Copies of this chain bind each other. A is one copy, B any other.
Amino acid sequence: MNTDNESNNLVKVAVVQFEPKLGEVSLNQDKIVELVGKAFDQGARLVVAPEMANTGYIFESKEDAAQYAESVPGGPMVQALEKAAAGKNGYVVSGLMESDGDKLYNTAVLVGPEGYIGKYRKTHLWDVDKTFYEPGDLGFPVFDLPFARIGMCICYDQTFPEVSRIYAMQDVDIICSPTSWVVIPGLAIPEDPTWSYIARTQAQVNGLYMLCADRIGTERGVTFGGSSCIVGLMGFLGGPASGDKEEILATELDIAAGRVKMLSAVNHLLNDRRTDLYDEKLGYKG
């Protein structure tokens, strides 16, 4: 009997939702390691943690933010993730704050049993991001894990359909998205989690999976709405999670099924694109 999930293409994945405490990097790091460890123990091969999971999000100034930034790789957060993944059979993606010389980036890192693998720098900067961080300059890199090809984006990036489309055109199976989804009264509230539905649409129109790990809690008057989710062509596969509770969402993904991308017997989500009318890769300059 074959009990290896990789062989039958079912891969367990998870997202962890919690409340990072602003500026308490050591405490947050311990919490991330704890939750990611729990997800690994549940059999998850790929776990996603929120945006800026180790630092919190609403800083007062670039100087205020900068004291929590670290070099990537080599800094304490990446080291903690390396330790969490060592000897495990899984990979973790987490948001953190990166420093590179005097520049700061809103970054997501990918770490596995072999250690640090790569990073993505948020390309579309939301609100306060614009005050503190440089626009991401690494494009949309893809990484081949043993069980799936993945890409990363961060929060507001998902609002730009170009991002998921560009990843789809690079044959990405799973987009890992650390987020800090803000509550906007009348637009994005936990009772109607707009951000989760936007992610769902991006997954559905591209026929790929998206793992959105959101945070909860309030910082300096800004509330984050949880509603983490795991989405694919068929809609919500996990979540949306609660708006205010610490949670681990886990589900099995069929990677091979995801590659089929058929919405009807004759409708292929990518092959049906009218590339005679618009560019194959939206003019991606990566």
Chain A: residues with CB nearer than 8 A to chain B? 123-127, 130, 135, 139-140, 156, 159-162, 165-166, 186-187, 192, 194, 197-198, 200-202, 204-205, 233-235, 263-267, 269, 272-274, 276-286
Contact = CB atoms under 8 A, between A and B. Distances in A.
B282 A234 contact: no
Contact of A279 (B200, B202, B279): B279
Contacts of A283: 278-280, 282-283
Contacts of A126: 264, 267
Contact of A127 (B140, B162, B234, B267): B267
A194 B197 CA distance: 9
Given A127-B267, A140-B277, A278-B282, 12 more contacts: A159-B204, A159-B263, A159-B269, A161-B162, A162-B165, A162-B278, A166-B278, A187-B234, A187-B235, A197-B201, A282-B282, A283-B283
Nearest to A274: B123
Contacts of A162: 161, 165, 273-274, 277-278, 282
B274 A135 contact: yes
* Nearest 4 interchain pairs by C-beta: A279-B283, A161-B161, A201-B201, A282-B282
Contacts of A135: 274
6 contacts: A124-B274, A126-B267, A127-B266, A187-B233, A279-B279, A279-B283
B272 A124 contact: yes
Contacts of A286: 277
A225 B125 CA distance: 38
Nearest to A127: B264
Count chain B CB atoms within 10 A of each CB in A160, A234, A269 and give the residue with the most: A160
